[in-house]
């Protein structure tokens, strides 16, 4: 087992871009923006260069490309995710970031929370991948208590004496909690 914790997880990540032109493109443009990656066992994944975030798991063939949905705003944080599921079928789904419960969410939803809270660096993507690996989920659609697994990865970093990662993950976790708590508070107050 590697110290990083993700050596055998099969999680691939492509960098984020801040490309807003996807909002003006129709679905026919979606297929033109695809980069196909052949992986273990001949499974293919779809990664789009115009996505805010693109990730693939060559082991399962799953991939996800995340965009801000048309009409997105801070008060209406809707994201569109497109990709391929483990059966090789294309999917498209809308996710409202303010409705995500990080105590029971999918990896896709965790990635949406990362975008919504501004955690878009390579380091932040690595923390999300480490958390998914710790959770042991088989699919990007499987729901689990990711906040507990963030805590478990933080404990690992503390044990290793990797204080930079520990404190950075603490900031990430607190930003997620502040976002989630703020949205719950707003909904309770009718805002």
Whether residue 55 contacts residue 41, with contact meaning beta carbons closer than 8 Å, is answered with: no
Question: Is position 96 within any domain?
Answer: yes
Question: Is position 147 within any domain?
Answer: yes
Helix-strand-coil split of the chain, %, nearest 5: 40, 25, 35
Question: Is position 1 within any domain?
Answer: no
What is the CA angle 152-153-159, rounded to 5?
A: 90
Q: Is 162 exposed, middle or buried (0-12, 13-18, 19+ CB in 10 A)?
A: middle
Question: Is position 73 within any domain?
Answer: yes
Question: Is position 174 within any domain?
Answer: yes
Question: Is position 6 within any domain?
Answer: no
pLDDT per position in the chain (191 positions), as tens?
A: 344 344 334 444 444 333 434 334 444 555 555 555 555 566 777 788 889 999 888 778 899 999 999 999 999 999 999 998 888 888 999 999 999 998 999 999 999 999 999 999 989 999 999 999 999 998 999 999 999 999 999 999 999 999 999 999 999 999 999 998 886 544 434 44
Question: Is position 7 within any domain?
Answer: no
Question: Is position 182 within any domain?
Answer: yes
Domain count, the chain: 1
Q: Domain limits at 132?
A: 12-188
């Amino acid at each position: 087992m590697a110290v990083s914790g993700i050596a055998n997880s099969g999680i691939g990540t492509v960098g984020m871009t801040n490309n807003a032109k996807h909002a003006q493109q129709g679905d026919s443009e979606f297929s033109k923006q695809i980069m196909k990656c052949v992986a273990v066992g001949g499974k293919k994944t779809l990664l789009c260069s115009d996505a805010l975030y693109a990730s693939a798991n060559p082991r399962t063939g799953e991939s996800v490309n995340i965009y801000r949905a048309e009409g997105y705003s801070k008060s209406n944080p809707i994201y569109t995710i497109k990709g391929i599921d483990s059966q090789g079928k294309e999917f498209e789904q809308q996710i409202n970031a303010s409705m995500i419960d990080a105590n029971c969410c999918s990896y896709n939803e965790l990635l949406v929370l990362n975008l919504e809270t501004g955690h878009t660096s390579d380091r932040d993507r690595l923390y999300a991948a480490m958390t998914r690996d710790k959770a042991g989920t088989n699919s990007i659609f499987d729901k689990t208590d990711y906040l507990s697994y963030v805590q478990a990865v933080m404990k690992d970093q503390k044990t290793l004496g990797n204080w930079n990662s520990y404190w950075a993950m603490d900031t990430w976790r607190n930003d997620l909690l502040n976002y989630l708590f703020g949205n719950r508070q707003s909904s309770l107050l009718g805002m």
